[in-house]
Structure 1
Amino acid sequence: MSPFLLRLAPAVGLALSLAAAGVAWKVQDWRYGNTLAEQARLQTETLNRLTLAAAASQQHEADRRLALERQLSASEQTHYRALSDAQRDQDRLRDRLATADVRLSVLLDANDVAAGCAVPAATGAGGLDHGAPRARLDPAHAQRIIAITDAGDRGLIALQACQAYIRALGR
C-alpha cells in the first residue's frame, strides 16, 4: 500500500466513525422524540380525563346544592305559612276576646273549700250549664295568656323549622 493510502485510511475511518455516530445520534433523537411525543400525548389525555371528571363532579355538587336550596325554600315557605296561620288565629282569638265575643274561663275545684269561692258546686234546676263550675277570667288576664301561648306557638313553629333544616342537611 502506498503511504498516501496509509495516511488516508485513519482519516476515512474517522470520517466513517463520525458519520456512523451522526446517524446513530439521529436515530436516537428520532426514537427519544417519538417516546417524548407519546408521553406528552398520554399526559394530555390524562389531564383531559381529570378535567372532565372534575367538571362532572363540580356539576354534580352544583345540582345537589340547587336541590337543597329548593328543599329549604319549600320548607321555609311551609313554616312561614304555618307561622302566619298561627298568627292569624291568635289575632282572631285576641279580637274575639277584646269584643267579649269569647270569654276565657277556668274550671273550679268543687272540693276546694279553702278557695272561698262563692260559686255553687252544682247548677240550679233553671240553669243551662250542666258542666263543672267555671270562673271567667278578667279580659286583661286573658289577653296576657293569649300572648304567652302566641309566643309558645311561635317558638314551636321555629323549632320545627330548625329541625326540618337539620334533617335536610343530614340527608
Structure 2
Amino acid sequence: MRLFDLIPAQFRIAAAASLLVLLATGSAALAWTVQGWRCGQQLERQARLHSDTLKELSLAAATQQRKEQDKRFALEQRLQSKDETHYKELTDEQNKQARLRDRLATADLRLSVVLATTDATSGCSVPTTTSTGRVVHGPARAQLDRTHAQRIIGITDAGDQGLIALRACQAYAKDVSAQK
C-alpha cells in the first residue's frame, strides 16, 4: 500500500495540489535564497571596488593638495626672502640718507652745483685767478645753503624709497604670476 492510497479520495486532489504548492514554494524559496547569496556577493564586490576607487581618489587628492601646499610654501619662502632683501635695501638706503643729512648738518660735507657761465673765455678749464681753497681745475661751482641741501637730500630719499618699494612690488608680482 502506498501513502497516496491512505488519503481519502475527496482530499486526494487537495493533497496533490498542496504538495505541488509546497514543492513550488520550496523551490521558489530556495531560488530566492540562492539569488540573495549571488546578489550579496555582487554587492559586496561592488562595494569593495567602490571603496578602493574612493581610497585611490582620496590618495590622489591628498597628493595633489600636498603638492599645492609645497608650491605655496616655496612661494611664501621666496617672497619672504625677497621681502627681507628689499627691507634690507630700504633700511640701508635710509641709513645712508641719515648719515648724509648728519654730515650736511655738521658742515662736514657741503653740496655744490655747477654754475652756468656766459663768459667767452670760459672754455679754458684753468681758472684765470688763483684761489687758495682748491686745487681742482674745472667749472665754477657754488655751494648750497645747508637747509636747501637737506631739502634736496629729503626729496632724493623719498625718491629712493619709492624706487625700492616699486622694485619690491614688481618682484612680488613677477613671482606670483610665475606660479599661475
1:109 is aligned to 2:109:
no
Q: Which residue of 1 aligns with 2:29?
A: 22
Structure 1 equivalent of residue 170 of structure 2 = 163
**Counterparts in 2 of 1:18-97, with a 5 A limit?**
18-97=25-104
Give ranges in structure 2 of 5+ residues lacking alignment.
120-124
How far apart are the structure 2 equivalents of 1:100 and 1:6? 136
Distance 1:142 1:68 in 2: 43
| 1:38-66: CA deviation from partner (whole Å, max 9, x where unpaired) | 11111111111111111111111111111
Aligned 1:114-153 pairs, distance under 5 A: 123-127=127-131, 128-153=135-160
**Once superposed, what is the RMSD of the aligned Cα atoms?**
2.0
Please list the CA deviations of residues 83-106 of structure 1 after superposition, one character each: whole Å capped at 9, or x if unmatched: 111111111111111111211111
What is the CA–CA distance in structure 2 between the aligned matches of 1:90 and 1:44, rounded to whole Å? 67
TM-score of the superposition, structure 2-length normalised?
0.84
Instruction: State the AA in 1 paired with 2:61.
Output: A
CA distance in 1, matches of 2:23, 2:74: 76
Mapped partners of 2:129, 2:117: distance in 1 = 18
Q: Given residue 56 of structure 2, which amino acid in structure 1 is its aligned partner?
A: R
Amino acid at match of 2:74: A
Which protein shows a greater Rg? 2
Alpha-carbon distance in 2 for matches of 1:124, 1:104: 24
CA deviation digits over 1:115-159, x for unaligned, max 9? xxxxxx962353423111111111100000000000000000000
Distance 2:93 2:25 in 1: 99
CA distance in 2, matches of 1:105, 1:147: 16
Aligned amino acid, residue 101 of structure 1: D
Task: Please state whether the residue corresponding to 1:106 is helix, strand or coil.
Answer: strand
Q: What is the number of equivalent residue pairs in this alignment?
A: 164
Question: Is residue 123–residue 129 contact of structure 1 (8 Å, CA) maintained in 2?
Answer: no
Q: Distance in 2 between matches of 1:89 and 1:102?
A: 14
3-state SS of the aligned residue for 1:94? Answer: helix
In 2, are the aligned partners of 1:68 and 1:168 still within 8 Å (CA)? yes
Give the counterpart letter for 2:130 in structure 1.
Answer: G
Per-residue displacement from partner, 1:21-78 (whole Å, max 9, x unpaired)?
Answer: 0111111111111111111111111111111111111111111111111111100110
**Code of the aligned partner of 2:164:** I
